[in-house]
């Protein structure tokens, strides 16, 4: 990325991004402290261990929810905390004990979403509160990776094995569900605790290759699966097979910046217009830091 373009992105982050994204940027790119990043993330965590307060900017509900807590996983991974850190164990405790769980699936939406500004897709109804394995597969993987209590590990193992079995027996290709399975796969890599893992990984790779948008003219103008949404590290499943697409996307980011020198979003709430503008800015900060990470990961 050219120096001037980088400076424009950085200036925007310092002026407009949430304190969390600024602390994240400083930690990843400027030698900022882990402690500052950690404390900013903690501000989104409730007393029950779950996350809320619009960590995922399209829902401004302060209450804990599984989907908001899933959103914290990437930050937690970046912080490289010890398994016993209280932030992680509080998160695990929430996920294991939350009432927003039924028949092996965590809820994607919760009733109190209706009390706060939100995108239409975060509206709650009992009939649509479960979105398949989004985010259940990723959550089960997180618990399996970080839980210290034997019963919590066993709880996660049961859900993961069922997820693998369901993936092998059904056609699951919705982009968000696929991403959730990708994250689950990252959490169980190297484990011998599950049956059918090789077959699962083979089919997951096939689905990834089928569902990634190959028309690069759509990557920044429509809501589609860009390569980096599935592959964000070089040691991930599919990197070797999709390397060309991943690096092509990374090379295009600089030219796709919008006003202010950062990247926009391709969706709209079409409701709560003032709150949507706040969410849009929060997303832009989140995307700016994430995009810089991708650019320098695959440069």
Taking the C-alpha atoms of residue 161 and residue 29, their distance in angstroms, rounded to an integer, is: 38
Distance CA 4, CA 202 (A): 42
The DSSP bridge partners found for residue 102 are 105
Among residues 298, 211, 215, 228, which one has the least CA distance to residue 263? Answer: 228
Q: Which residue has the tokens 């929810």?
A: 65
Under DSSP, the state recorded for 193 is S
| Per-domain residue ranges of the chain | 3-297
Residue 259 is predicted with a pLDDT of: 82
pLDDT of residue 1: 86
Fold of 3-297: Glycosyltransferase (1.50.10)
Cβ atoms within 10 Å, residue 173: 13
Interatomic CA distance for residues 98 and 114, integer angstroms: 19
Residues whose CB is less than 8 angstroms from the CB of residue 124 and which lie 6 or more positions away in sequence, other chains included = 109, 110, 111, 112, 113, 114
In this prediction, residue 200 carries a pLDDT of 98
d(CA 227, CA 221) in angstroms, rounded, equals: 15
* Per-residue pLDDT at 170: 96
pLDDT tens for the chain, 299 residues: list them.
899 999 999 999 999 999 999 999 999 999 999 999 999 999 999 999 999 999 999 999 999 999 999 999 999 999 999 999 999 999 999 999 999 999 999 999 999 999 999 999 999 999 999 999 999 999 999 999 999 999 999 999 999 999 999 999 999 999 999 999 999 999 999 999 999 999 999 999 999 999 999 999 999 888 899 999 999 999 999 999 999 999 999 999 999 999 889 999 989 999 999 999 999 999 999 999 999 999 999 97
The secondary structure of 16-42 as a DSSP string is: HS-HHHHHHHHHHHS---HHHHHHHHH
Strand partners, 131: 134
CA 113/CA 26 separation, integer angstroms: 32
Phi (first) and psi of residue 176, to 5 degrees? -75, -35
Q: How far is residue 213 CA from its own chain's centroid?
A: 19
Per-position DSSP letters for 130-189, written without gaps between them: -BTTBTHHHHHHHHHHH--SHHHHHHHHHHHHHHHHHHHHS----HHHHHHHHHHHHHHT
Answer whether 218's CB lies under 8 Å from 182's CB.
Answer: no
d(CA 192, CA 215): 38
**Quick one: CA torsion of 4, 5, 9, 10, rounded to 10 degrees?**
-30
Q: Are strands 101-102 and 105-106 parallel, antiparallel or unpaired?
A: antiparallel
pLDDT of residue 221: 87
* Unique residue bearing structure tokens 């690096």: 247
């Amino acid at each position: 990325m050219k120096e001037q373009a980088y400076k424009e992105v950085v200036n925007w982050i310092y002026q407009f991004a949430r304190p969390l994204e600024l602390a994240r940027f400083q930690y990843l790119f400027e030698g900022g402290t882990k402690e500052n990043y950690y404390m900013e993330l903690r501000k989104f965590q409730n007393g029950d261990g779950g996350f809320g307060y619009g960590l995922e900017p399209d829902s401004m509900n302060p209450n804990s929810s599984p989907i908001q807590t899933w959103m914290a996983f990437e930050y937690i991974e970046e912080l490289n905390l010890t398994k016993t850190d209280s932030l992680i164990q509080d998160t695990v405790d929430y996920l294991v004990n939350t009432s927003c769980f039924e028949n092996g699936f965590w809820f994607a939406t919760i009733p109190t979403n209706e009390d706060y500004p939100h995108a239409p897709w975060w509206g709650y109804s009992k009939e649509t509160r479960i979105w398949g394995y989004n985010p259940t597969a990723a959550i089960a993987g997180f618990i399996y990776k970080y839980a210290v209590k034997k019963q919590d590990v066993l709880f996660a193992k049961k859900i993961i094995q069922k997820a693998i079995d369901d993936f092998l027996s059904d056609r699951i290709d919705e982009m968000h569900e696929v991403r959730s399975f990708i994250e689950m796969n990252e959490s169980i890599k190297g484990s011998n605790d599950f049956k059918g893992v090789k077959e699962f990984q083979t089919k997951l790779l096939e689905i990834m290759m089928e569902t990634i948008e190959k028309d690069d003219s759509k990557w920044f103008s429509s809501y589609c699966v860009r390569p980096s949404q599935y592959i964000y590290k070089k040691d991930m499943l599919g990197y070797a097979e999709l390397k060309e697409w991943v690096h092509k996307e990374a090379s295009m980011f600089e030219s796709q910046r919008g006003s202010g020198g950062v990247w926009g979003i391709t969706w709209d709430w079409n409701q709560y217009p003032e709150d949507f503008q706040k969410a849009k800015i929060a997303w832009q900060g989140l995307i700016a830091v994430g995009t810089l990470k991708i650019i320098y990961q695959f440069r």
